[in-house]
């Protein structure tokens, strides 16, 4: 595994990607702090999209029951603006 500073990585990216392609890895440094690691891609199972368990149609979502409070939202808003 090799370590490389950001400026050097930008200047020699192709070289470092060849290293990764051949199975190596590269640690990217921001000054002396490791911030990333470039590693080869390992073949794995591809993602599959499954159909939803239940088909939902637009407009079929149940709304919550209305709140049982006696407030006038406009009046509350106006009161708040008057306080400023």
pLDDT in tens, 5-28: 999 999 999 999 999 999 999 999
Residue 21, in any domain of the structure: yes
User: Which structural domain range is residue 12 located in?
Assistant: 2-38
Residue 51, in any domain of the structure: no
pLDDT of residue 70: 84
pLDDT of residue 53: 72
Indicate the number of domains in the chain: 1
Reported confidence tier of residue 66, pLDDT bands at 50, 70, 90: confident
User: Which CATH number do you get for residue 7?
Assistant: 3.40.1620
Residue 47, in any domain of the structure: no
Residue 81, in any domain of the structure: no
pLDDT of residue 25: 96
C-beta of residue 40 within 8 angstroms of C-beta of residue 23: yes
Residue 50, in any domain of the structure: no
12 CB contacts (<8 Å, ≥6 apart)? Answer: 4
Distance CA 73, CA 79 (A): 10
Residue 24: which of 44, 4, 47 has the closest Cα? Answer: 4
Residue 76, in any domain of the structure: no
């Amino acid at each position: 595994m090799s370590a490389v500073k950001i400026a050097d990585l930008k200047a020699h990216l192709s070289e470092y990607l060849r290293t990764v392609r051949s199975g190596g890895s590269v640690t990217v440094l921001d000054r002396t702090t490791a911030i990333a690691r470039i590693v080869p891609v390992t073949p794995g199972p591809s993602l599959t999209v499954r159909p939803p368990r239940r088909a939902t149609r637009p407009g079929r979502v149940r709304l919550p029951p209305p709140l049982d409070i006696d407030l006038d939202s406009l009046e509350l808003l106006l009161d708040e603006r008057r306080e400023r």
